[in-house]
Amino acid sequence: MTRLSDATLSAAPPAIARPLYDRARVTPGIVHLGIGAFHRAHQAVVIDDRLNAGETSWGIVGASLRSSDTREALQPQDGLYTLAVRSAAPPQYRVIGSISDVLVAPEDPQALLARLADPAIRIVSLTVTEKGYCHDPATGTLNEDHPDVRHDLSAALPRSAPGYLVEALARRRKAGVKPFTVLCCDNLPSNGATVKRVLARFARLRDPDLGAFLTDELACPSTMVDRIVPATTDENRAEVSTALGLEDAWPVMAEPFWQWVVEDHFPTGRPDLAASGVELVGDVAPYELMKLRLLNGSHSTLAYLGYLSGRETIADAVGRPALRQIVRRLMEEATVTLRPLPGFDLDAYKASLLGRFANPALRHRTWQIAMDGSQKLPPRLVAISRDRLARGLPVGVAALGIAAWMRYVAGPDEAGRPIDLSDPMANRLKALAAGAGGDAKKLAEPLLGIEAIFGADLPADPRFTSEVVRHLDSLMRNGAERTAEAALA
Ligand code: CS2
């Protein structure tokens, strides 16, 4: 089959949407670190719209901080790829053209640094996942003992996202070029402020003067990003290539829904995002809390309970009445911890989430969401627990989601199959779980002692610990669904 590229795109069926602009005339204004499926199904689509509207100075140069997979797939395609929007309706395909080039940082760190230092680059956006910021998830501050941080503070060339950004910002400063705006598009609480704190601290450790400069000058607007984007499978590749009549080595799959709320603070300019449906607001925090706790908190809860009880996808998990009821309960209980969003229909939002989770065509794997629990739990479930207890309320079913994570960490699943634990703390978690020998308390106690996840307060609060242990004990004896039923009773 012929490969998708600028030269071959005209052979795709006319019904398939594609760039309406002359790609050769687009110049890059954005570097994106972490050029994975989420970015390509979300921000890159908005930018594709802006390029269609004639804002041709905002093309994207993508960068991978680790593997060369995306570059290998996209380079022969001139950066083109297909977005497949999947739901109960027939799939919709659109070829996206906003990414002109993909750099692989470890292969040529200087090439990425040179791009980042280029004055034409006014925004650097990131989707490097929670763990990519080298921060302590419980406090939102730089983890100064992180191996990549230690490396980047002593080596000539960086390897972490903070290392690249700070080195590039130092080069720009030296050359008299204004800092780019850093646009974090990961699911971190107060993601703009968190990234700024991490970068300013990292810079300060390198050079106090640079730290002070970034504290004063660096803009890191917060964002809330939302679109469910499961990892692409070989089956997806085949389906899309057939529809296109051209081989696409790495299309991306997404649900129809998307949302992007952005704090409007771009001293070096930005595309007209609002014209493409982005919500530009003064304060993103209420949106972020809502999304992290209602959507992502439910997702993690469904992922652990679902995986343990043999549900491969989120749609399978939410199709189980007890699990569905648990996430409804979680959303109700989380609501008191949210900040007001005047005029926003929260009930409709919650109902829509259940519909999105049930999307039969997405096949979003519970295992994928279960990844990196040590990083995801703090803003999703631990924060709900803490805020409820601070209000004098019972911790509620957030403690069940946390217990399910513990049960998942210990493995195996309820059918006795070993669990492939993917987490930056995997070794430590496995070592802590190893000594428990089927005793809920012995499993919970050492895990609760991880301060980067639970802080110092919650492990000392019996209102929290007793609920976690109670659910964990039931999970170990009775399994996920019966525990969920009991928690609802
Ligand atoms: C998911 C998110 O993988 C996960 O942890 O909860 O990627 C989720 O699909 C997105 O945040 C939706 O916007």
Q: DSSP string spanning 38-101?
A: HHHHTHHHHHHHHHHTT-TT-EEEEEESS-SHHHHHHGGGTT-EEEEE-SSSPPEEEEE--EEE
Burial 137-164 (b: 16+ CB within 10 A, else e): bbebebbeebebbeebeeeebbbbbbbb
Our answer on whether the CB atom of 376 is closer than 6 Å to any ligand 1 atom is yes
Atom of ligand 1 at shortest range from CA of 296: 6
Would you state the structure tokens that stand for residue 377, as one six-digit string? 């739990």
Using CA positions, which residue lies closest to atom 1 of ligand 1? 369
Whose Cα sits closest to atom 11 in ligand 1?
226
Ligand 1 atom 6, closest CA: 296
Rounded to whole angstroms, the Cα distance separating 80 from 19 reads 9
Per-residue pLDDT of the chain (489 residues; tens, 9 = 90+): 999 999 999 999 999 999 999 999 999 999 999 999 999 999 999 999 999 999 999 999 999 999 999 999 999 999 999 999 999 999 999 999 999 999 999 999 999 999 999 999 999 999 999 999 999 988 999 999 999 999 999 999 999 999 999 999 999 999 999 999 999 999 998 999 999 999 999 999 999 999 999 999 999 999 999 999 999 999 999 999 999 999 999 999 999 999 999 999 999 999 999 999 999 999 999 999 999 999 999 999 999 999 999 999 999 999 999 999 999 999 999 999 999 999 999 999 999 999 999 999 999 999 999 999 999 999 999 999 999 999 999 999 999 999 999 999 999 999 999 999 999 999 999 999 998 988 999 999 999 999 999 999 999 999 999 999 999 999 999 999 999 999 999
Q: How many Å lie between the centroid of ligand 1 and the Cα of residue 186?
A: 9
Give residue 176 CA to ligand 1 midpoint distance, Å.
Answer: 39
For a substitution probing ligand 1, which of 39, 224, 228, 257 has the most ligand atoms within 8 Å of its CB? 228
3-state secondary structure at position 363: coil
Query: Does the CB atom of residue 369 touch ligand 1 within 6 A?
Result: yes
